[in-house]
Structure 1
Amino acid sequence: MAGFVNRENRVPHYQRMFQQGGKNHVRQWNQTPRSKYLLYPYYIVFAGTFAGSMYMMTRMVLGHKTWWGK
């Protein structure tokens, strides 16, 4: 527990990084090195959900109420 209390304060580092992001026209959620590990899975799930919704909406219009079959 002592390592948590006595660790370096990273707030000034992140403040500088986020304030410089406005000059580079990079969105705040895409500025850290870990952003791609959080955003890309989100984009994949978002696109898959959207594609699945469009697929099933088309099937419902055609009268099919399941993901497969007739």
Structure 2
Amino acid sequence: MAGWVYRENNVPHYQRMFQQGQKNHIRQWNQTPRSKLILYPYYVMLWGTFGASMYCMGRLVLGHKTWFGKG
């Protein structure tokens, strides 16, 4: 528990980084080095589920109730 008490304060570092990003018109969620590791899988899941929904909806309109085949 002592590691939390005597830890270095990183708030001024992040404040400078985020304020500098605002000047360059970079969105806040895309400013840290870890952003790409978090955002790209999110985008894949977001657009993947959207695409799958549209695909299944199109098949349902045509009368098919499964992902593939004539079912």
TM-score, normalised to structure 2's length? 0.93
- Residue aligning to 1:4: 4
5 Å matches for 1:7-18? 7-18=7-18
The match for 2:25 is 25
Q: Which runs of 4+ in 1 moved over 4 A?
A: none
Corresponding position: 1:34 with 2:34: yes
Question: Aligned residue for 1:59?
Answer: 59
CA RMSD for the aligned pairs?
0.8
How many positions carry a matched residue from both structures? 70
**Separation in structure 2 between the aligned mates of residue 5 and residue 37 of structure 1, nearest angstrom:** 29
Alpha-carbon distance in structure 2 between the residues aligned to 1:28 and 1:10: 17
In the aligned structure 1, how far is the partner of 2:38 from the partner of 2:31? 12
Aligned to 2:48: 48
Deviation at 1:7, TM superposition (A): 0.8
